[in-house]
Structure 1
């Protein structure tokens, strides 16, 4: 505290502020008496100058004004300055009136306060303007790249503020989404036209790079991409908040990515509730090396857990995760295990050693066509039996929360993978009745952009080979969300959920896979003439569309706008015994007809068929 006060007292801003305060005090007398100070009042000004300056300085100190950085002074800083000046004016009035100066003109107090605020604010604004102009001229001399910013004015305003701290770019104009904004200026930068005129504007100003301002998923981004990609314009955006949290993140414009076009507004988390649940606790994640599992680990690590226990069957996935987390969270205690959730003794030994307070179960086989033929029993043993093991062990050790990562393919399933995940949900509901001290919940969501085995990595590989991009059907649609959004909503559901509940995530509007392919082609800087799209036909067990709720299900609202609770029938009392008995008797390779018949009995809405229209 003493150090802070010392810094305030020796701040270099006093070299400018104190003379300006003196000037304001004498100017107030001068203005009060019509640009001339009568002789008796000159003495008043002389006698009161030192007390007035000291009182104003004390007011500024109390408002911590000397701590302000003049180079980055903002409206918030000017509000602090106003409070400091007001406080200083009150102190000045009290002290000077206490001196009982005969006939002192009281209007001087108000006039001097106004002049002090104007002079001090003007000094700061002048300094910032000078620094910014000098920087702009230096960038122009050093060959800074010209840049247009496109978007709504409120988004452009924020982008301009961000770019002031980034070297290498010179903003030469704003392209607004509203044509009526043309001719206005924003932070000294002119609005030179609308989005429809962007190609012409870029050509006139010899600009090849456009920064897209605004939130991820904004319609303007899609419009700009589809209209202007392939035209020679380089489309950039600023990194998101999640990216900025990374240890190697840089506040610099980057290429527009698919997540920027399909992503939505950031998830609003109950940070305080999650801190109470996770901070200082041990958390175990199964399937930790997968796309969702690894993102769950990254999200959990941000809350300062006592220990993160990462379990995955893949040695390489565990190794990669270990390297990433040690780099981004070097001080976080963590344990990394190669283990299969189908081996209950191994899983139990890990859990008993660390006794996690929260268990996030992401381990699963999820590739629909692969699990539909020749591997059906593997889907059941991992997705069903593995879930039973993880849930039962969470109950045995007294974990506070257990969260199953489920899927929209569990609704009215037409494939073994989806049906196995619906049985896994039943398992979680059944285990919940055996361990009332633990809250067991499941979370359903659709496809996750960039997750392993999803369509996006496939398209990326096909683009790298020059195409074509293969789409199974021109009308096939899917729900999509980003990996961070999915992981954050899983944590939020785990915090909110009551035992036995199944949460459904708001997946937004479904996206046609063919449109997704077109966007990826445009993002690569090519056109559909260069990279064609080929239709290959629906694969076994594949739907044209996915559902988030079964026909006989309804949902109930929750306090979170992106989470709803599915109203599903409770699991039968003999669910666990029947499932364990059948899996034990099925053997390593049951007949496909026998396996599907058993799934049909467990999940009546399951319809085994290769194509669904």
Structure 2
């Protein structure tokens, strides 16, 4: 309905209501159905005109009555009251008398009919015009301000995909009550029962202040049902207007980690990055590219993107250049292999970076088991080349990205990363450069990680392959890993291994189940297949060796390990002889060296918190 049509309809309805009110009131007061006096005619004309005048003043004809509230009713009250005052004023002038009984009855009828007409308008629109058989029956978790706001928006919206049917809230004081006409069924433990009884299609978690641990607990209850689970957009997106409250988001596996992400010490990071030259090796990889994104927030003078793959380096270069607010940063790309020591020396000499983040590495465990010489060349020799070049050209801070698989390694990849740690710890002893390593667990969504693999299998209809039902891993997100790397540079004094407090480890089979559920499928439809442990894998990972455990808390959620024994002579000997060894001999020597003289760790996860 256009504005003109709406205006004409409302003016017509109000005119009929005004005349009906005053004439019916006159007949009630005078008990005479045939008397049409001059005061009645004057009063009727005055009331009609004044009602429309005050209706325009209070914009009653511009209100969306399908969304009316107490405020709109107050405007109606004011318009009618002032109309009656105007009629009384005219009566006094024309007939020198005010008919108080007539005006009182008219006011009551006028208010009742005008208010009733608007209520009927809202009722018709909400009941019939907004009715859709295709709307999904929804359960809202959280009956607080956010939950009621969501419910109100869904009720009012013509285009909403969902219709709110029931609330779930742990506040026992509101159990059994109705909010906006929607019953509060019970607490979180009643989600499964409510979904089944009320034929719920969709669950909306509407608690913006919810921590990840609490969200995980609620999601586990939701996962017992077949209903799709979604959450509200982030508060900053709601405030900025990017999204509205009825733009719901699917729960992401990252949301279920069970801990809050690390917060950065902005001041200390700015001191060593802002206005400086920063070099990132492996800048096209999942971790390296995120490190680049995080670094740009601190406005370095130059950011050198070094990598072996031209496509990935080009991609991150274009992304950074196209991002807002980075016009003052000079982005430089270098296609180079860290195994080329001369090229590393040349690049360090050319740009003389203040900070180096060394993210270039081979990290895929089964592949490196089959290609130990490539893991050794890239992870050990490559790290030594970059570190030597950084030391020679007096880089201020060198941060190497390591892994929890370097602790008591059972794989070639873990062994080579442990040897890389030894190299930079040893180099720190004689160099002006501060060399540190950052160690963390599996990174959700990184290339070669378990999450993309699981998603591919789910898309194909399953089954999802899990190596062992008891396998557990520490997990973190790519942004978290990158923030840890950057914060470690600010904390570096030289020779440390920094470790993130990664919370509780996660069972891989539980992760697979959550992903199946989050994708909108059932466990029965997709299925899980146990394939057996692969070469080099462990059931669990540690974050620190027994002789590294310090427990020193240097920053919220960041710990530091003590320097363990280094075996540089053996590493140098292996560098000179590895090419003469067959794959199995090389693998054996790598594992023996990486595990030499290490105190055995019990089969219990090391606690670093």
Q: TM-score range by the shorter chain?
A: 0.5 to 0.7
Query: Hey, what does 1:460 align to over in structure 2?
Result: 455
2:412 paired with 1:420: no
Report the equivalent of 1:342: 339
1:222 corresponds to 2:216: yes
Q: C-alpha deviations, 1:222-243, integer Å up to 9, x for none?
A: 3443443484533222445899
Say whether 1:583 aligns with 2:579.
no
**Partners in 2 of 1:398 and 1:310 — Cα distance?**
19
| Alignment match, 2:562 | 567
Pick the aligned partner of 1:530 from 525, 531, 539: 525
- 1:369 matched residue in structure 2: 366
1:597 and 2:589 are equivalent in the alignment: yes
SS in structure 2 of the partner of residue 382 of structure 1: helix
- The aligned counterpart of 1:385 is 381
Match of 1:176 among 162, 169, 172: 169
Deviation at 1:473, TM superposition (A): 0.9
Residues 265-304 of structure 1 mapped to structure 2, 5 A cutoff: 265-304=260-299
Shift of 1:350: 2.3
Whole-angstrom CA distance in 2 between matches of 1:244 and 1:385: 49
Aligned to 2:252: 257
Aligned mates of 1:591, 1:435 — CA distance in 2 = 34
Secondary structure (helix, strand or coil) at the match of 1:451 reads coil
Kept in 2: contact 1:216–1:263 (CA 8 A): no
| 8 Å Cα contact 1:355-1:397 kept in structure 2 | yes
Q: What is the CA–CA distance in structure 2 between the aligned matches of 1:243 and 1:284, rounded to whole Å?
A: 33
Equivalent-residue separation in structure 2 for 1:285 and 1:241 (angstroms): 33
**CA positional deviation for 1:218:** 2.9
Q: Secondary structure, in 3 states, of the residue corresponding to 1:529?
A: helix
SS where residue 264 of structure 1 aligns?
coil
2-structure distance, mates of 1:339, 1:326? 21
Shift of the 451–494 alpha-carbon distance from structure 1 to 2, 3 Å rule, reads same
Q: Any conservation in 2 of the 1:217–1:261 contact (CA below 8 Å)? A: no
Show structure 2 runs of 5+ residues with no match. Answer: 1-121
Contact 2:406 2:417 in 1 (8 A): yes
Check if 1:150 corresponds to 2:150. no
Distance in 2 (CA, whole Å) between partners of 1:247 and 1:606 is: 56
Matches within 5 A, 1:56-205: 148-151=139-142, 153=144, 172=164, 174-182=167-175, 193-198=186-191
What CA distance in whole angstroms lies between the structure 2 residues aligned with 1:246 and 1:358?
35
Match of 2:116 in 1: none
Question: Number of matched residues?
Answer: 471
Q: Which residue pairs with 1:356 in the alignment?
A: 353
The answer on whether the counterparts of 2:191 and 2:221 sit within 8 Å (CA) in structure 1 is no
Counterpart secondary structure, 1:542: coil
Aligned partner of 2:442 in structure 1 is: 447
Paired with 1:247 and 1:294, the residues of 2 have a C-alpha distance of 29
Alignment partner, residue 114 of structure 2: none
- For 1:402-440, what per-residue CA distance to the aligned partner results, in whole angstroms no more than 9, with x for missing partners? 11111111111111111111111110111112213x221
Q: Does 1:479 align with 2:474?
A: yes
Rounded to whole Å, the distance in 2 between the matches of 1:512 and 1:599 is 26
Larger CA Rg, structure 1 vs 2: 2
Does residue 519 of the first structure (1) align with residue 514 of the second (2)?
yes
Label 1:570 to 1:219 Cα distance change in 2 as closer, same or farther (>3 A): closer
Give the conservation status (yes or no) of the 8 Å contact 1:440–1:500: yes
Instruction: Report if the CA contact (8 A) 1:259-1:482 is conserved.
Output: yes
What's the counterpart of residue 227 of structure 2?
A: 233
Question: Can you list the C-alpha shifts for 1:557-593, whole angstroms capped at 9, x where unaligned?
Answer: 2342311111132535xx2x65344313322754522
Give TM-score scaled by structure 1 length: 0.67
Over 3 Å counting, the alpha-carbon distance change for 1:598 and 1:323 in structure 2 is closer
Question: More displaced, 186-195 or 315-324?
Answer: 186-195
SS at 1:335 equivalent: strand
* Per-residue CA distance 1:281-319 (angstroms, 9 max, x = gap): 221111111111111111111222222211111122212
Are 1:314 and 2:314 counterparts? no
- Matching residue of 1:83: none
Confirm or deny: 8 A CA contact 1:362 1:405 kept in the other structure.
yes
The separation in 1 between residues aligned to 2:294 and 2:468, in whole angstroms, is: 35
Give the CA deviation at 1:178: 4.0
Superposition RMSD in Å = 4.0
Contact kept in structure 2, 1:244 and 1:250, CA below 8 Å: yes
Decide whether the 8 Å contact of 1:599 with 1:606 is kept in 2.
no
Q: Which moved more, 1:166-175 or 1:250-259?
A: 166-175
Number of the residue aligned with 1:552:
547
TM superposition shift of 1:547: 0.8
Are the counterparts in 2 of residues 217 and 260 from structure 1 also a CA contact under 8 Å?
no
CA–CA separation in structure 1 for the residues paired with 2:171 and 2:250: 24
Q: Distance in 1 between matches of 2:386 and 2:428?
A: 12
- In the TM superposition, residue 154 of structure 1 has moved relative to its aligned partner by 8.3
